[in-house]
Structure 1
Amino acid sequence: MQETRFNDTYPVYETEIARHETSATNTEEIMARLKRIIETDPTAAFIGLFDHYQHTAQLPGGEIGEGIRAAQNIVFCFGMKLPNPQVMAVRPRSIGVTEYDDRFVVNFMEPPMPAPALIMTEWVNALRDRLPFA
């Protein structure tokens, strides 16, 4: 995963998964895998799916970047601690998946604690279930 800054402000973890690196054939299959992973993690709770592509496509004047075939977010929450009201501002979490003809771009905003960042990175890396050129 690569760490970047979106709009020079938001810390984002992102990776590209080539189609030959995964047996998933579309965004829905990626979302189903992530949902299964989240539901087996005792510290995470699945909340829902958001089809960003569908939402944007139906808006008057909605714009979708060239080559994007699908775009969805899976929304979930880590509930390890609730020490104060400010933590609510950074919850829940989501992982975004954007589908192109040749790849999936998977990303999430850096959480405020290191443990969830590591867990989410592991989840995303598990989407690569085929070795390149295998």
Structure 2
Amino acid sequence: MKKIIFMDRYPIYSLELLKDEMRVSSMDEVAAYFKDKIEKHPVAKFIALFDHYAHTKALNGEIADGILDARNIIFCFGPSIPNTKVLAVRPRSIGICEFEDKFVIEFMEAPREEIHQIMQEWAKGLTK
């Protein structure tokens, strides 16, 4: 995974996987893979799958060249509410973009290192 700072402030982790090096081959399978990981985790809670591509297309919005599909899987790891600020970084979202030959998996860095590690492991688990 590669870490970048998006818009000079957001720590984003990105993983590009060629379709021929993945255990799954469609957007539905990638989304189902993440949903399964979330549902099997003892604390994580699946919230929704947002079809960002359909939403943007319906608005006649701009979609970058090459993107065939784009979805966000939204979930929460929140086992406690220690203060009001933690709500600003929850829930979590993993962005999934499909291109002709690859998928790009991206998410913001989590405030807790162990949660961040879990999300990285999930993303890397898509490889054969």
* Paired amino acid for 1:16: E
Write out per-residue CA displacement over residues 61-113 of structure 1, whole angstroms, 9 at most, x where no aligned residue: x1100000000000000023310111001100010000000100000000111
Partner of 1:52: 52
* Paired amino acid for 2:51: D
**1:31 has 2:31 as partner:** yes
CA distance in 2, matches of 1:52, 1:28: 14
For the 8 Å contact 2:78–2:90, the answer to whether it is kept is no
Task: Name stretches of at least 5 consecutive residues in structure 1 with no aligned partner.
Answer: none
Partner of 2:125: 126
Partner of 2:112: 113
Q: TM-score w.r.t. structure 2 length?
A: 0.97
CA distance in 1, matches of 2:79, 2:12: 22
Alignment of 1:1-134 (within 5 A): 1-60=1-60, 62-128=61-127, 130=128
Task: Between 80-89 and 48-57, report the one with greater CA deviation.
Answer: 80-89
CA distance in 2, matches of 1:7, 1:86: 22
Shift of 1:21: 0.9
| Runs of 4+ residues over 6 Å off in structure 1 | none
Q: What is the Cα-based RMSD across aligned positions, in Å?
A: 0.8
Partner SS for 2:75: strand
CA distance in 2, matches of 1:37, 1:23: 14
Aligned residues: 128
Q: TM-score w.r.t. structure 1 length?
A: 0.92
Task: Name stretches of at least 5 consecutive residues in structure 2 with no aligned partner.
Answer: none
| Identity in percent | 48
